[in-house]
Amino acid sequence: QITLKESGPTLVKPTQTLTLTCTFSGFSLSTSGVGVGWIRQPPGKALEWLALIYWDDDKRYSPSLKSRLTFTKDTSKNQVVLTMTNMDPVDTATYYCAHRRRNGPNSYSFDYWGQGTLVTVSS
Amino acid sequence: DIQMTQSPSSLSASVGDRVTITCQASQDISNYLNWYQQRPGKAPNLLIYDASNLEAGVPSRFSGGGSGTDFTFTITGLQPEDIATYYCQQYDNLPLTFGGGTKVEI
């Protein structure tokens, strides 16, 4: 049974750095092909992919946010951590982490998601 | 970036209706497409992968099709529990991109 859960502050001030932790169980991020992603959703809006980290510690970021994002993993703790610098009110959103499953060659899906955590950016 | 355009953005249908949502990619993505359901206040849930493969445990009234740039998602026999917003997502290229969503109401 795969589970993921996001944790972090619910309120941050503009210009501050956001640190979100995703704690997971039921899989290992050292298993070949496995990945964990971060996706966010502003209130009432669509989903936006932010970042991916792979079992081999390779990382990929959304080009529009790359300069502000850092994604790390702690395999021993079954955690991944996303930091986003210089937060702005437009970054107010629910932030999800999700397990990326490899269905086959070049085939991937987010098959398990955390419950999400709402982060509000306001002074 | 590959743009994913969903239509309609919202629809209203009756229980038992057949509902179809379309998703168009800005370039050829083969069949590298997922569909997700997001019920109000909940995280997204994977329904379809590889454009037409039904995820395990998902009711067979959900189906998907298409390849290249044009894709469809169909609910055959709409149920009250299908009230949700549906998103397509491509994984042919990074950055991963989602459609704008289709809100289904009864």
Q: pLDDT tens-digit profile of A87-110?
A: 999 999 999 999 999 998 888 999
Using CB atoms within 10 Å of the CB of residue B37, give its burial: 0 to 12 exposed, 13 to 18 middle, 19+ buried. Answer: buried
Does position A82 have pLDDT exceeding 90, yes or no? yes
Q: B13 at the A interface (CB within 8 A)?
A: no
Picking from A88, A94, A86, the residue whose alpha carbon sits closest to that of residue A122 is: A88
Give per-residue pLDDT as tens, B9-62: 999 999 999 999 999 999 999 999 999 999 999 999 999 999 999 999 999 999
Under an 8 A CB cutoff, do B98 and A106 touch?
A: no
Q: Which residues of A touch B46 (CB under 8 A)?
A: 109-111
Does position A66 have pLDDT exceeding 90, yes or no? yes
Amino acid B30: pLDDT: 94
Buried b / exposed e along B81-106 (16+ C-beta atoms within 10 A):
ebebbbbbbbbbeebbbbbbbbebee
Reading phi first (left if > 0) and then psi (alpha if -120 to 50, else beta), residue B67 is in beta
- Is residue A7 within 8 Å of residue A23, measured between CB atoms? yes
Amino acid A39: pLDDT: 98
Residues 65-104 (B) with a CB less than 8 A from some CB of A: 87, 89, 91, 94-101
Picking from A6, A1, A75, the residue whose alpha carbon sits closest to that of residue A38 is: A6
Q: State the Cα–Cα distance between residues A110 and B34, nearest whole angstrom.
A: 9
**In the structure, what pLDDT confidence band is assigned to residue A123 with cuts at 50, 70 and 90?**
very high
Give per-residue pLDDT as tens, A15-32: 999 999 999 999 999 888
Which residue reads 């991937």 in tokens? A108
